[in-house]
Structure formats: C-alpha cells, structure tokens
Amino acid sequence: MVFSHIEQDIGGHHIYGSLEEVSDKYKYSHRDFNFYRRLLDLFAKGQDLSLLADTKQATGNDWDLDKWKFVPIAHRVYVEQPDIKWYIFLEADAYMGWSNLLELLSKFDPDKPWYLGATHFYGDVAFAHGGMGYIISNGAMRMLDTIWNPQNIAWWERRTAAGCCGDVELAAVLQEAGVNITGIPGLYGESLSWFEWGESKWCEPALSWHHVKAHDMESLWQFETQRLADNETHYVYRDLFHKLVKSHLASTRSDWDNVSRDRVYTGPSGLHGDEDRRYPLRSKWGRLSDDEKEEQRVELNDEQKKDIESYGTYTKETRWDELSDEEKETGRMSECETVQDWMSHYAKTELP
C-alpha cells in the first residue's frame, strides 16, 4: 500500500490518504495542516500541485504534517489488510534488503505482539526510527485495533498536536496498547556513501538504508536480485562493499566532499610551506566548517574545485590482490571466516 497526502489513483495504482483518519477538528483548523489545506484546494481545482513547492514556509511546513501520518497509516493498513503476518513500513527514500529481512522475520512468531526497529528514545518513549523502516506483527496490530476508539483517538491527537515526531507518537500509542519495541540491528539511517565501512560490521547482515538516491536504489535492487538468481543466501556488509563500493575507490579525488559532520582536514603537506603557497585554497578549505564550505562551494570555479583534494584512500581493501598470504591471513576486513549471524539470536528472543 502506498500513502500520500491525498487519496487518488495514479497510473493504475491506488494511493491511500495518510491523513484520512485525523479528525476534522485538526485537519480544518490546526496550523499544522495549513499546507494540507492549500494542497486540497489546488487538487480540487485541478491545478498544478508543484506550485506549492516554494511556498511551504509561508503556508505551514510540510514537515508539520509528518507527525500526524504514522498512527493513521498503521491503523488503515490493518483495516485494509487484517490477515497479513507482518506490516513493513518504509519511506520513499529507504531501501529494505528483502532477502535478509525475510530471513530475520522467520525467527519471530507474527501472532505475538512484535514491534521491531532501530531503537531511539524521546523522553520516556522508546521508539523505532521511521526513516530506517520498522516492522509490526499481526499480533501487535490486533492489540492496536482493540484500543482504537474515540477516547483514545482524542488522546493521541492531543499528544500529536503538542509532540514532535510521528514515529514517537506511534510508539506511544503502541505502548498504550501494551506493545513495546524490540530493537534489531542492520537498520542504517543514511545511504551507502555515509556508511562507516569497517571490521565492526563487516560480517553482519544488512537490512535497510535511508536517504537513498534513485541510482543507489537501483544498484541495491540489482545486487539483491542477482544474488537471488544465483541462489545465494542472505548477504553481509562485506558483500555490498565488494560489489557496490570497492570499484569506485581511487587513491585521491578532486572536488572532494567527504560528507563529514564537523571540520575536514586535508593531508599534512597541504597545510604549510610550499604546499600552502601552491594550493592556498586547499589549505584554507581544510579549516572551514561544513556551513562555511557549503556557502563557499557554489562560488568556486572548476579549477578551484580540483584543488580540494581528498586524503589518499589506498586501503587494504583496494590492494587485496597484492597482499601476501600472511597479510591476507591477518586482513580480516577482506574475508569473513564466519558470518556473524545475529539473526539466529532472535530465535530465542522474548517479548520485552
């Protein structure tokens, strides 16, 4: 099932309205719905909805609507499909590794009240981060449905109006129904380019990625479907690295942005002496904050961008074929002696 702001049919597919079950009291008067009301007005008049793209700040930010969607969507999918074993919730820019997920879910009983995801905390509420994807069992959905009454709906709407986030509100409603989160690994909140490839996760199965661009989504899908065609079992981060990352590594890169969250420093030779005089921009760039770099990058010409060079990325992985047998024996990042199958742990997991 696909959800959006407005219920409609597109290209032969039915799109469900994510806010249909919110009471009119909020939809037609609360400030969080300013953008929604403008959207409905344009839709009713048959006008171009993209006209609102540059006016969100003036009419009520679209983000304000996000917190209202999670609980109604959860209840709506159960009403529409009450016999499904597992309800898997994904945002449009998230990718889920289906072969790994199905292997994991085989360890759980869907008739029991499971709420699975990457555990985060907001005050005293433990919740599954929405962007990474989360899974609710049929047993948990039945418990949610038992408390779906006018009194509890009014309580949830008051909470949401004063709250911050839809995934937090969903967790609070599930807690009210007696369902608590069980945290699972393998759910990652960023894309492949942000992932810290290293030994700590090298031999673990991967489940989901967030903020995934269309071309990366396609690459992940092709990678997974090829493995299925080859009758290969669930995959680990090592497999993703070898197929999707390794071939793109280079010793250095120009016009480099290593997506750091703080300051970025170039090689020591670029910070003093002759290198400073030869590459003044490189020396200066390494001392800038992220915000400063974003402001100045748009003003750089092509030659200046080439001066922003990465550290060498000539790692043990990129020269694996050049290593001796002894080096390969100690090069644990390249081959997994055993797969760290944390999935088997859940065969004995008890409900929280």
pLDDT at 204: 83
- Mean pLDDT within 17-21: 89
pLDDT at 305: 60
Tokens 């961008």 map to which residue?
305
Which of 74-88, 130-144, 220-234, 309-323 has the lowest average pLDDT? 309-323
pLDDT at 181: 95
Map out the domains of the chain with their CATH numbers: 2-66 (no CATH), 67-249+325-352 (3.90.550), 251-314 (no CATH)
Residue with the bigger pLDDT between 55 and 20: it is: 20
Instruction: Give the burial string for 189-203 (b: 16+ CB within 10 Å, else e).
Output: eebbeebebeeebbb
Query: CA–CA separation, 242 vs 163, rounded Å?
Result: 43
Residue 142 has pLDDT above 70, yes or no: yes
pLDDT at 1: 92
Residue 157 has pLDDT above 80, yes or no: yes
pLDDT at 236: 86
- What are the pLDDT digits (tens) for 33-86? 888 888 888 888 887 777 776 655 544 566 788 899 999 999 999 999 999 999
Which of 71-85, 244-258, 270-284 has the lowest average pLDDT? 270-284
